[in-house]
Amino acid sequence: MVFHDITDIKKLENMRSDFVANVSHELRTPLTAIRGYVETLLHTPPADAEDRRQFLEIIERHAERLSRLTEDLLTLSDLESGKIQLSSKGLKPRQLIQRVLEVFWDQAAKKNVKLSQGVDDNLPEILGDTDRLQQLFINLVDNAIKYTPAGGAVSLTASEVQSRNGEPSRVEIVVKDTGTGIPEKDLPRLTERFYRVDKARSRDLGGTGLGLAIVKYIVQAHAGEFSIDSVISQGTTVRVRLPAVAPAQPAQSLLFLCTENSCRSQMAEGFARHLGNGRYRFFSAGTDPISIHPLAVRVMQEAGVDISMQSSKGLDKVPLNDIDQVITLCGDADEHCPTLGATVKRSHWPLPDPAAAAGTEEEILPIFRQVRDEIRRRVEALFA
């Protein structure tokens, strides 16, 4: 005998059956109303113009409900199937909250519900899709206002939450209302499609029963977290935690230091600027600077790097307090720079001075090229 556990299969079948039944019911209600009033207008229209207008307004209201339902079903389907491609970029929490609240100022004022916000100006940016995040919080604020009686309040606040295990921090946005509240037994099921705590009231307020299901999938698509707390007659608090944009690492300052700052350090700076990957800011200096040797300019041009616009300079031209790493290219030149702090990382590249070589230009050129190639190799290794 072979036994198969079909619990999950049965669960999926029941979910599908419930979904079909719920969709059928949600569609049937407005369609029945529309059909009934249209038939009345076609066959036995009311004589009073005001009655006819009322019938048309009812048809319009149910048509809008069908439109919302269809749009939410399509959105939910796309989110579940992964068809919606998120365009993630940095978004300021204050800007996001302001855009959401702009949608509801008039609605809240008409209902006499106070809207407020509280956002720390120093919050990191949220990493996410702007349109989808607006949709997420529009759904939450819409629910909050609907279920908050006149004289109540709805607030949006944002704060930074530090994550554990060295993970990037998150931005927590909280939507809080002083509304009717939700029974504790209903909280685990709120994100189910078409689940309503008060079915009759939800439909009267124009809800489709899909808003929180959409919220859940948008949060999941952003690798976020989502929780709901509520107390009957006191209100509901919804917390959404979203990944923050990791702070950019500041570029380190690297100093190439050589006694004369004419050949080796200038060639090192030239290669560093040519090959640099944004990790460093580059400086070169000399304790006793002289003009750049013309053969250094020439061999660097052969390598595709132009250092003719670089200038030999002394330590007084370098922001020594900002230097993170110093590389000396001759002797013990770092000993001549006592202003560099003890925490500055030090390296030494023992390279001969090609400008000190004796002989004709043709005899000296190979020495310049040899030093140039060794400097390029070392700079490439530095950026590897």
> Which pLDDT belongs to residue 334?
47
Please identify which residue in the block is written with the tokens 């899909």. 210
> Which pLDDT belongs to residue 7?
64
Domains and CATH numbers, the chain: 1-84 (1.10.287.130), 87-248 (3.30.565.10), 252-383 (3.40.50.2300)
337 is catalytic: yes
Per-residue confidence at 169, pLDDT binned at 50, 70, 90? confident
Q: Examine the pLDDT at 22 and tell me if it is beyond 70.
A: no
Report percent pLDDT > 70 for the chain. 76
Residues in a beta bridge with 345: 325
Closest by Cα among 288, 271, 379 to 337: 288
- Measure the CA angle with vertex 235, ends 29 and 68; round to 5°: 25
Which residues, including other chains, have CB under 8 Å from residue 27's CB and lie 6 or more apart? 66, 69
8 φ, ψ to 5°?
-65, -40
Pairing mode of beta strands 325-328, 345-348? parallel
63 φ, ψ to 5°?
-65, -40
Distance of CA 4 to the CA centre of its chain: 44
> Which pLDDT belongs to residue 332?
52
| CA gap 236, 148 in Å, rounded | 10
> Which pLDDT belongs to residue 197?
60
Percent of the chain that is helix, strand, coil (3-state, to 5): 50, 20, 35
- Measure the CA angle with vertex 140, ends 134 and 146; round to 5°: 125
Which residues, including other chains, have CB under 8 Å from residue 145's CB and lie 6 or more apart? 104, 107, 108, 111, 113, 154, 177
| Residue range 278-321, pLDDT digits in tens | 677 888 888 788 888 889 999 999 998 888 888 888 888 888 88
Crossing angle for the helix pair 130-146 and 211-221, to the nearest 10 degrees: 150
| Residue range 215-238, pLDDT digits in tens | 888 888 888 888 899 989 899 999
Q: Examine the pLDDT at 335 and tell me if it is beyond 50.
A: no
- H helices of 112-198, where? 130-146
Greatest mean pLDDT among 34-38, 210-214, 334-338: 34-38
> Which pLDDT belongs to residue 205?
47
For the purposes of burial, counting CB atoms within 10 Å of the CB of 281, is it exposed (0-12), middle (13-18) or buried (19 or more)? middle
| Residue range 178-205, pLDDT digits in tens | 998 888 888 877 777 666 665 544 444 4
- pTM metric for this prediction: 0.52
263 is catalytic: no
| CA gap 235, 154 in Å, rounded | 10
> Which pLDDT belongs to residue 200?
46
Closest by Cα among 346, 312, 304, 306 to 329: 346
Give all strands (DSSP E) within 62-132, no chain letters: 88-91, 114-119, 126-129
Q: Pick the catalytic residue from 59, 330, 355, 379.
A: 330
Q: Pick the catalytic residue from 79, 190, 215, 258.
A: 258
The secondary structure of residue 61, as a DSSP letter, is H
The secondary structure of residue 150, as a DSSP letter, is T
Please identify which residue in the block is written with the tokens 């977290």. 225
| CA gap 93, 22 in Å, rounded | 36
Q: Pick the catalytic residue from 79, 108, 337, 382.
A: 337
Tell me, what amino acid is at 224? G
| CA gap 329, 351 in Å, rounded | 6
| Residue range 40-91, pLDDT digits in tens | 888 888 888 888 888 888 888 777 766 666 666 666 666 555 556 667 788 8
> Which pLDDT belongs to residue 337?
54
Q: From residue 171, how far is each of 141, 158, 186, 347 by CA, in Å?
A: 18, 7, 27, 41
Per-residue confidence at 175, pLDDT binned at 50, 70, 90? very high
Average pLDDT along the chain: 79
> Which pLDDT belongs to residue 347?
86
Contacts of 198-203 with CB under 8 Å at 24 or more apart are: 203/29
